[in-house]
Amino acid sequence: MLKTGMIVAERYEILGKIGTGGMADVYKAKDHKLNRFVAVKVLKPEFREDTTFIKKFRSEAQAAAVLTHPNIVNVFDVGDDNGVYYIVMELIEGITLKEYISKKGKLSVKEATSIAIQVSMGLEAAHSHGIVHRDVKPQNIIISMDGKVKVTDFGIARAASSNTISSNVMGSVHYSSPEQVRGGYSDEKSDIYSLGITLYEMVTGKVPFDGDTTVAIAIKHLQEEMVPPSAYTPELPHSLEQIILKCTQKSVDRRYQNMEDVIADLKHSLIDPQGDFVKLTSVDTDAKTVVISDKELGEIKHMPKQVSKPEPEVLEEEINETDYDDEPEETSRRKKGVRSEKKKKKNGGGHAMTIAMLIMGVIILVGIILVAGKASGLIGSNSGNSSEKTEQSESSGVDKDGMVTVPNLVGKTEDEAKTITNEINLGVQAMGEEVSTQEKGKISSQDIPVDSKVEPYTTIKYYISKGAQQITIPEVDGQTGSDAQQTLEDMGLKVTVQKEYSDLNDDGTPMVDPGYADHTTPAAGASVSSGDTVTLIVSRGVDYGDSVEVPSVVGMTKNDAITTFGKFLNVEVQEEKSTDVPAGEVISQEPEAGNWEDPDTVNVVLTVSTGDQEPGTDDQSTDSSDTTAQTSGSDSATQQAAIANGEVWKCTQTLNTPTGYSGGPVRLELIQNVNGTPTASVVLEGQTIEFPYDLDITGAPGVSEGTLYLSEQINGTYQELGNYSITFAKAE
């Protein structure tokens, strides 16, 4: 915390603290170089220790500094002064939109629309520079004393989201888009969703999705439809409600595609409040299977099985006797006379030919109907028997109970999926795109699990793969091997660790200390896909030959002990229950400290305490008692069967201390997308834990990612401190 009167960067004089947030404190300051007042945002100490976050924070803040717009809180400067990392911004005298809504209850239509337009214009300017906010919410929108609306914190959410396992600066889940909740890729349309939620709150005074827990709210974003805002504000104009609904579509394809379109419709709504100009893509307009009821099917089956072949003369008579009530009587008689005359001339000209052609057409049509009816089983045949019906049932995929087995569509093209499902009387519906390890353009997930039994004509919803997410390998120099490995794994990469002796400086000291990261292959800055394998080279320091002294690590944390044994090739960690040694600390080591051993061949065994928990039976186990919060969409039986068969998917990442944690009991909740259905579970609840905290979570089989929500119990209720994108890998 900075004190009044301090000078930052020999330029900014701190005048007083004006606010605080999850990741930074904000001070009013005087810029003595340009003689103006500014706001200085200073990162909290826990973020200063995260070198990866700091680098990302700098680059994103510098990118945000290029934005100059009347509806954006402009960034003037970014830097650090003796470990104090700061951003200098435009000083806005006013209140946040959240405070404004709280004071007024809800805003008038004209006021809410005006604010939304100004916010949209600021976001449009950012998007045009390739900057996505990712944390749009009323708390990040400031209304100045003169009524101007400005959006703040550009670039900071992006910096945080790239390293969420050690940062908890993501915004409130009340405003998060479904793709953000799911932990997937977010872009400009995520900002549009969050803007829609903010506009909803402005006109109703409440958020559309709320709940007792963070995960409960996240699930609602994924699978519940919001209550229309007009239910709370009956006088809300039709056009503005349609704008809100279009912004908040769960599928990104059905939202506005850019901010320009949002602004255009918002302005139009001021001119034509009740207009129907907002084009919503309804789910009902998508192609889907029409289900015929049993009653309708029965009526079709009991239609007459044979149609008599019409006699030409009878048919001709029926055609010729057709009359129209609106014709004059004389005209009618005249026509009848003409028809009678033609009827006598059976060898007549063109009219006879026309009748013959009509007769032939009817006969052909009746034949087609009979053939098609028999082929589809709707029209019976006197020669049919039960064996033929059985064969037809089997070919349509319907079993003896009248149910159909759901096929595996993952990895198939959309055309292949339609062919497969059409053959067994099932329907399919595309729900959008998602990042996946599946090939781009192939189906990446489906909402109904494979081999499930469903009724005929059920519709399977699926997502199309956008391909693997592209990741830029970060710099890892300066980090310990353990921290560097964690950083890379948090980004969705698989890591292979190799230890090598370091190059030496002129004085014979190692360029990289033992136990610390040297470099990666591919090198930092290279672009790879999520799920790719990266080799991490960890330094062994100086090569002193085949005999070095064994260090003492008893009492150290596990990661510190592994770093200290950086020179040794073979280091094994085992766990043991201990009520005397805090969890995570080394109880004993083998070989003993002071011995001289060959670092290439000796096997080092570190025994680490699990506290009062038995190894492998801690609170992150997948016992059914720990997963009582699973939603109805979960497939726990399938998961347990997979685990029984040895298919176990684990997450063993490490959580750093979350901002604002005061040492109280915590709750960890996991949400994963299982076959297109959000599945939630409570990993841990009511426990006090120490950070850094090593996770040991078993997830759904075959699901490689998830989002972990961390809340602390404060005054009897749980309050969210952060959410983290975590990855799972199949345990060997």
Residues designated as active site: 135
Scored b (16 or more CB within 10 A) or e, 648-678 reads bbbbbbbbbebbbbeeeebbbbbbbbbbbbb
Which stretches within 436-507 are classed as H helix? 481-490
How far is the C-alpha of 575 from the C-alpha of 620, rounded, in Å?
15
Residue 276, Cβ neighbours under 10 Å: how many? Answer: 10
C-alpha distances in Å from residue 94, one per residue of 97, 104, 150, 332, 394: 10, 15, 10, 86, 71
Instruction: Give the amino acid at 581.
Output: V
Token pair in block for residue 56: 């990302």
Q: What is the DSSP string of 355-376?
A: HHHHHHHHHHHHHHHHHHHHHH
Cα 49 vs. chain centroid, distance in angstroms? 29
Which residues on adjacent β-strands are paired with residue 668? 684, 710
Can you say whether the dihedral through the CA atoms of 566, 567, 570, 576 is positive or negative? negative
Q: In terms of Cα–Cα distance, which of 396, 407, 416, 412 is closest to 450?
A: 407
8-state DSSP, 475: P
How far is the C-alpha of 689 from the C-alpha of 610, rounded, in Å?
12
Which stretches within 586-717 are classed as H helix? 636-644
- The values of phi and psi at residue 80, to 5°, are -145, 150
Token pair in block for residue 360: 């032939």
Q: What is the DSSP string of 25-78?
A: EEEEEEETTTTEEEEEEEE-HHHHT-HHHHHHHHHHHHHHTT---TTB--EEEE
Token pair in block for residue 544: 């002193």
How far is the C-alpha of 40 from the C-alpha of 80, rounded, in Å?
12
596, 549 in Cβ contact below 8 A?
Answer: yes
Residue with tokens 């009511």: 686
Can you say whether the dihedral through the CA atoms of 527, 530, 534, 538 is positive or negative? positive
- What pairing do the DSSP bridges indicate for beta strands 649-651 and 586-590? unpaired
How far is the C-alpha of 452 from the C-alpha of 340, rounded, in Å?
67
Side-chain half-sphere CA neighbours of 461 within 13 A? 12
Look at residue 94 and give its three-state secondary structure.
Answer: strand
- The values of phi and psi at residue 574, to 5°, are -125, 155
Q: In terms of Cα–Cα distance, which of 465, 409, 471 is closest to 437?
A: 465
Cross-sheet strand order for the sheet of 697-699: 697-699, 649-651, 729-730
**Reduced 3-state DSSP string for 442-461:** CEEEECCCCCCEECCCCEEE
Q: In terms of Cα–Cα distance, which of 33, 151, 10 is closest to 86?
A: 10
How far is the C-alpha of 533 from the C-alpha of 473, rounded, in Å?
11
Token pair in block for residue 509: 């000291």
584 contacts: CB under 8 Å, gap ≥ 6: 557, 558, 608, 609, 611, 690, 692, 694
C-alpha distances in Å from residue 689, one per residue of 325, 561, 583, 663, 680: 90, 20, 9, 8, 21
- Helices 259-271 and 238-247: crossing angle in degrees, nearest 10, is 170
